[in-house]
Chain A
Amino acid sequence: MGKITLKSVRKSFGEVDVIPGIDLSIEDGEFVVFVGPSGCGKSTLLRLIAGLEDASGGSIAIDGVEATDLPPAKRRLAMVFQSYALYPHMSVRKNIAFPLKMAGMSAEDQAKKVDNAARILNLTSYLDRRPGQLSGGQRQRVAIGRAIVREPAAFLFDEPLSNLDAALRVSMRQEISELHQTLKTTMIYVTHDQVEAMTMADKIVVLNAGRIEQVGSPMELYRSPANTFVAGFIGSPKMNLIDGAEAAKHGAQTIGIRPEHIDIHDSGPWQGMVVLSEHLGSDTFLKVNATGLGTLTVRASGEVALRHGDTIRFAPQPGKMMRFGSDGKALA
């Protein structure tokens, strides 16, 4: 079981309120991603749940048991750190067995569990090496192995993939998702990468300046962002946010339209000059200096033969435009 409930959890460092007060409920077996820009408090929130930071107020319950004042060791949570945080003086085998040793498990049971974890993570042939002799991806696997042997109530991941190169990041991302399918244990994953958030999460928690901006499934956040912050943060390339006269025409302070929801055709109401075109093969991203709208990103499918200086007309797809009020919140 791994149900985690936060009630008005606060954290301040000196006079700075990093987290002014958060309420959040994480269901058993859920894959929850905390996402937000640097300094939004997502790592602090994870560390509060882990018990590595003391909450300045509020309460944290794990499976209904009050855990706010429990030390990390007593919370039955396992954590995978960005730096892997392996014990450099121990072999891979001893690293993975460490939590079991701390739990007082017999050497025989330890060996069984370590072998099992090593098999799941393809680490069997590295068990007698030291962390220093492993590549980044292998180290990350060891860190995950150390987490899974304990059979914790929940896994906490603190930006675990940000030290890996792009290709490895994608494959580790899939491995972690598969691990979640297999283990069905609650996972809380912190990242600043919205692609990781979108691809892995059952539920995304978007954080900004220590506050929750929106909680929802990836598609909910994509389809109906609660405010301009979420609208701009979720989705790649970013949603175009347009202020001014055009927005006023739609009765809003700001209107938003995603690059993939703009069609190029000659009878479109908007007009602009192509500033930059990025050809990815499958898609072409056009940066367009649009008259009266500012710079917009337009996503065209496949290869499009448009270049810097070309003038185009384009139109938002019907029903895809989002409207936001003066407080930044979405209008119905």
Chain B
Amino acid sequence: MARKVSTRRKLAFTAAAWAVALIIFFPVLWTILTSFKTEASAVASPPEFLGADWTLENYVEVWGRSDYPRFFWNSVVISVGSTLLGLLIAIPAAWSMAFVPGKRTKDLLMWMLSTKMMPAAAVLIPMYLLFQWTGLFDTRIGLVLALMLMNLPVIVWMLYTYFKEIPGEILEAARMDGANLRNEIIYVLTPMAIPGIASTMLLNIILAWNEAFWTITLTTVDAAPLSAFIASFSAPQGLFYAKLSAASTMAIAPILILGWFSQKQLVRGLTFGAVK
């Protein structure tokens, strides 16, 4: 009897989980479906599903009308570059905050996080002008810097929580065993922190890839990544839903695939420390 109830509960929870997941995923799914419809079919009311006119011509047209590989490459350089640069700065920072905390470490962490609460639009004009004056406007290095700064609090916070999980006594044991700081980092700390570093890296690549506000504002042609590529299809010609959807699908596909393959690592990273 008890077993039956628990099976029913399990089914209910599974159904609920699927429902929530589908609701969250629906816009993405709809975008992908729309990208394979003709423009007429895409805007049909009521929405067409099974009876729609399926076609690949949107992809052909989007590919032909713009330089997708360039946008793609810019996205890769900007998201990976900003993440690696961020890690380079954040690892020592998180290190010192986790293992040699000072009186104001907690305040410092809160302050870093508070910068994430500031609306980006508030610094739009200063940033724009600064980028123009320094010649960083529409350059990849400029965007790498901007996105690195934007995500740095998140990177530091994530690494800090991972490092906090590593017992200090293990590092002390390494010191007693004759390891200098370099060996302590190479042989003991890094191997223990690798899952945390990897999931921080993945999450930040995704965040940077999906960033649209700064990438669209601070670029025109040369450094424009895929977010700008999508935006360019909603512009002057009016809205072509099917083509816009095709462009969106092409923009999100790489990160969707990366996310799919690394989902185990991502979930593990995000719940790190919650389950021992």
Residues of A within 8 A of B (CB): 50-52, 71-73, 77-79, 81-83, 85-89, 98-99, 101-103, 146, 150
State the 7 A-B residue pairs at the shortest beta-carbon distance, nearest first: A102-B178, A85-B173, A99-B177, A85-B169, A72-B175, A73-B178, A79-B176
Partner of A98, one of B172, B180, B187: B187
Q: State A98–B175 Cα separation when bound (angstroms).
A: 11
- Mark out the residues of chain B between 173 and 232 whose CB falls within 8 Å of any chain A CB in the assembled complex: 173-180, 183, 187-188, 191-192
B71 vs chain A, min Cβ distance (A)? 40
Residues of B within 8 A of A (CB): 167, 169-170, 172-180, 183, 187-188, 191-192
Establish whether residues A52 and B177, one from each chain, have CB atoms under 8 Å apart when the complex forms.
no
Pairwise interchain contact A87-B188, C-beta atoms closer than 8 A: yes
B170 x A87 contact (CB < 8 A): yes
C-alpha gap A51/B172 in the complex (Å):
10
B contact face: mostly helix, strand, loop, or mixed: helix
Q: Which residues of B contact A99 (CB under 8 A)?
A: 177-178
CB closest chain-B residue, reference A152: B176
With a CB–CB cut-off of 8 A, which chain B residues contact A78? Answer: 176-177
A146 to B170, CA, bound (A): 13
- State A77–B175 Cα separation when bound (angstroms): 11
Describe A's contact surface by its main secondary structure.
loop
- The distance in angstroms between the C-alpha atoms of A292 and B177, with both chains bound, is 58
- B190 — nearest CB in chain A belongs to which residue? A89
Task: Please judge, given known A-B contacts A89-B191, A98-B187, whether A73 and B179 are in contact too, CB under 8 Å.
Answer: yes
Closest chain A CB from B162 CB (angstroms): 14
Q: Are B183 and A102 in contact (CB under 8 A)?
A: yes
A79, B173: Cβ atoms closer than 8 Å: yes
Jot down 8 A-B pairs with beta carbons below 8 A, ordered by A. A71-B175, A73-B178, A78-B176, A79-B176, A83-B169, A85-B173, A88-B170, A146-B173
Give chain A residues whose Cβ lies under 8 Å from the Cβ of B173: 79, 81, 85-87, 146
B177 & A146 in contact (Cβ 8 Å cutoff): yes
Q: Are the C-beta atoms of A150 and B177 separated by less than 8 Å?
A: yes
Which listed residue (B167, B180, B187, B191) contacts A73, Cβ 8 A? B180
Residues on the B chain within 8 Å of A79, using CB: 172-173, 176
The CA-CA distance from A54 to B232 in the complex, in Å, is 61
Inter-subunit contact A72/B176 (CB<8 Å): yes
